[in-house]
Amino acid sequence: MKLIGIGVTNDAFEVEYFRKTYNVPFPLFEDEDSVILEQLGIKATPFFIGVKINDDGTHQVFYTQLGGFERAYEFLDLILKQSGLK
């Protein structure tokens, strides 16, 4: 399971500041002009998308969630179950 984050309306400086401040161990990308957000049709954030990428290069979205969560471990457990890995 890989995790990536996208900072909507954040520029490279802000994303780097965030990554350093919180020692974020996974890749973060800036989406300063909300291009990615618009391409995905997301209206509000935070938004979570679970994607399964297959051997043949195809992929399926297996989970989406608008809004945050209270406990990280519960969210990760939910994602593992939704993905079929657990």
Partner 1 sequence: MKRNIYLILFTGVISVFLMRTIVLSEVPKEDIYDPGILKPTDSVLKVKVGDPLPDFKLPAVSGGEVSLSQFLGKNNVVISFVPAAWTPVCSDQWPGYNIAKELFDKYDAVLLGITVDNIPTLYAWTNHMGDLWFPVLSDFWPHGGFSRKLGILRSDGVSERALFIVDKKGIIRYIGVHDINKRPSLGDIARELKKLEK
Closest among 52, 57, 31, 53 to 42, alpha carbons compared:
31
Tell me which DSSP letter residue 41 carries: T
Q: Of the two residues 23 and 70, which places its CB atom closer to partner 1 in the complex? A: 70
Task: Give the number of residues in contact with partner 1, rule: CB under 8 A.
Answer: 44
Task: Report residue 80: phi and psi, to 5°.
Answer: -60, -40
Q: What is the DSSP letter of 54?
A: P
Q: Is 25 in the site for partner 1 (CB under 8 A)?
A: no
Least distance (Å) from partner 1 to the CB of residue 60? 10
Residue 78 sits in the site that holds partner 1 (CB under 8 A): no
- The three-class DSSP label of residue 21 is helix
Binding track, positions 29-68, relative to partner 1; x by CB under 8 A: --x----xx--x-x-xxxxxxxxxxxx-----------xx
